[in-house]
Amino acid sequence: MVTLIDKTMEPLISEALYNAYFKSLLAGQRQTCSKIVQTLLNREIDIKTLYIDLFQKSLYEIGHLWETNKISVAREHLATAITEGLLNLVYPYLFSGTTGDQKIVVSCAPNEYHQIGGKMVADLFEFHGWDTHFVGANTPNDHLLSLINEIKPTLVGLSLSIYFNMPLLHVSLEAIQTHYHHLDIIVGGQAFKWGGMNLLKRYPTVTYIPSLNAVERYLHDVFKKES
């Protein structure tokens, strides 16, 4: 069983392994990346370590290369697509065996097409026994509100990667709080490294989650979940 508990042993993702994975990811070598991830899963790596030290780290590095014009947008999209496919390898290992009453809807803001961060957040909630509904990219507000009405979640998560979409995120927050003013919301994503924190102060039920590590702290502190 794959676990989120850190083990007192040599790290499964060594610098050499990470570099081999990153080189393959950048080159678009899907099969090699898949073999590396499956090997780590077979060695019972914890999901959080896999997500943070392999997937998140490599995607941040890919994003930096794109932002500094060292790789093309096509190359960035290829790496993203490969990573999204690799998340499917993890899915059979996500279930903790128990399902509680807590439900979360995770979505991207309108016009936001980078959904991997939101998917990894949803996966961590899934592992902790939540009933998780991951909507994905570019979800119109009326459709999101309709799903919230149907699911009646405990929590809504919104992901934003592109800073220029920040106004659309705030439209979504306004819409949710207008219709469900007591509903707790978490937000996160790379967009917030460029700003937007002051605007979040308008919304008392919104919590900013800066990292995957912070997801687990939030679960433990707010919902008393054991990590």
pLDDT in tens, the chain (227 residues): 444 444 445 688 999 999 999 999 999 999 999 999 999 999 999 998 999 999 999 999 998 999 899 999 999 999 999 999 999 999 888 875 566 789 999 999 999 998 999 999 999 999 888 999 999 999 999 999 999 999 999 999 999 998 999 999 999 999 999 999 999 999 999 899 888 888 888 899 999 999 888 998 899 888 764 44
Cβ within 8 Å of residue 184, ≥6 positions away: 154, 155, 156, 205, 207
Buried b / exposed e over 96-107, threshold 16 CB at 10 Å, is eeeeeebbbbbb
Query: Cα separation of 170 and 156, whole Å?
Result: 14
pTM of the model: 0.87
How high is the pLDDT of residue 10? 66
